[in-house]
Structures are given as structure tokens and as C-alpha cells.
Structure 1
Amino acid sequence: MHVERHTTGSLRARGLVVGGQPHGWWEWFRLDGSLMRSGTFDHGRTVGTWTTYDRAGTPYKVTEKGD
């Protein structure tokens, strides 16, 4: 599991990295710790459903990626 942190130390992003590229499920977080966005990579390429969340955790934007 690859983990990135904000300069404050709070979680910024987490997900798998394969061959130096993001792969599989990823999540990004705001400074306050709330989930901001989630989606899937296929060897560095965005695929499937990507969701952006408001600060309360409610999805407000859903985008389909890929072919």
C-alpha cells in the first residue's frame, strides 16, 4: 500500500503502486481527513467510476473513465 501525507502529517492519498504506477483502488483526502475522491487505476490509467465527495462524505460528482 502506497501512502502519501499532507505537510501536516494527515493522510493525503493511499492506494497500490505496481511497476511505479498507480494500480487498483485509490482514495484522496482533505487536510481535515474527509474523503475527497476515490477511483480505480489500471497501470496508471484511470478507469471505471470516479467519485468526488463533499466534506460530509456525500457523493456530488460521479465520472465514468476509460474506453
Structure 2
Amino acid sequence: MTESTPREELHKDGSLRARGHMRDGEMDGYWEWFRLDGTMLRSGSFDRGRQIGTWTTYDRSGAPHKETHFGD
């Protein structure tokens, strides 16, 4: 089993778009996505590329707006 490695993706302007970990070329573990203004857009976890658990979408003020549940 390979170790997970940290990964960051950037918007075209260089600001942080997403961060999390990759394992064998797939998203793995907890990830966060951000809007261009830096506020969090969504967060949730992957198990080797498959969405699992509770994913949260945030409004522009940073408050949780919606939760979506994926099978573990």
C-alpha cells in the first residue's frame, strides 16, 4: 500500500482552489475546495477516489449550507 501525498490545486490567479491527499493517482482522505475569494466552498472525504461520509457545502459567509451523505 502506498502512502498518501499532500496535493494542492490552484485557481488561474494562483489562489488556493483545493487541497487534500492523493494515493495512487486518486483523491484519498479529507479534501477542501475554495472560491476565488478564499472562502470555503465544499469539504468531504474520499476513499481512493470514491466520495464517502458527509460532504458539506458552505455559503459565502462560511456557514454550512447543505450536507450530502455518501455510503461508506
- Partners in 2 of 1:65 and 1:11 — Cα distance? 25
Aligned-pair CA distance for 1:9 = 0.4
TM-score (norm 2): 0.91
Matches within 5 A, 1:34-49: 34-49=39-54
Which stretches in structure 2 are left out of the alignment for 5+ residues?
A: 1-5
- Partners in 2 of 1:31 and 1:66 — Cα distance? 30
Report which of the two structures shows the higher radius of gyration computed on alpha carbons.
2
Aligned-pair CA distance for 1:66 = 1.9
Q: Over aligned residue pairs, what C-alpha RMSD do you find? A: 0.7
Q: How many residues align?
A: 67
- Partners in 2 of 1:10 and 1:66 — Cα distance? 32
Aligned-pair CA distance for 1:50 = 0.1
- Partners in 2 of 1:7 and 1:57 — Cα distance? 22
Which stretches in structure 1 are left out of the alignment for 5+ residues?
A: none
